Amino acid sequence: MPRDIVWRSYEHSHTEKTPDWFWALGIVAFSSAVVAVLFNNILFALLIVVAAFTTALLTKKKPLEREFSLTPRGILIDNELFPYQMMESFWIQDRETNRPILLIDVKRFLVPHIISVLPPEGYAETVQTYLEQYLPEVEMYEPIGQRLLEYFGF
């Protein structure tokens, strides 16, 4: 078994947005802002417009490719180390498909999960064998928020 296991994965899956998607975002944002103004909530209307504009800008941005490394000290994501002591468990979802997903439950408030798509070339078994030395394997699924964001194309 290799000492370190390294792979590269994108932050999230990216789907190109059509002009219809942006029109739908604009219509929903404009309608919501008008309703907020009708209820005399100008600040909320402004917040809706800013949120829609920010969402439109962020959806045009391509996801960054990150380097994941399993080391004896923890999981290294680019240059940030997540020690095994701050993790509770791991699970590899959809092992049999060509898109296995590594899920790691982390004991941090702002980073409750580490999610990475593994390469399809047999990495799932190698990663599972390596992580079993440090963490228990507990069945879990992608958070519903993550699945919703992917469904809506974010």
The separation between CA 4 and the C-alpha centre of its own chain, rounded to angstroms, equals: 23
113-117 and 101-106 strand pairing: antiparallel
The separation between CA 68 and the C-alpha centre of its own chain, rounded to angstroms, equals: 14
Q: What is the pLDDT along the chain (154 residues), one digit of tens a residue?
A: 456 788 888 777 777 888 998 999 999 999 999 999 999 999 999 999 999 999 999 888 887 888 898 888 888 888 888 898 988 899 988 755 667 888 888 887 777 788 888 887 777 888 888 888 888 988 888 778 777 777 766 6
* Closest to 87 (Cα-Cα) out of 139, 135, 129, 130: 135
Q: Helix, strand, coil shares of the chain as percentages rounded to 5?
A: 40, 25, 35
The separation between CA 41 and the C-alpha centre of its own chain, rounded to angstroms, equals: 33
- The residue extents of the domains of the chain are 5-12+63-151, 19-60
Domain 5-12+63-151 class in CATH: mainly beta
Per-residue pLDDT, 1: 44
* Cα–Cα separations (whole angstroms), residue 139 to 3, 44, 72, 103, 109: 25, 40, 23, 9, 21
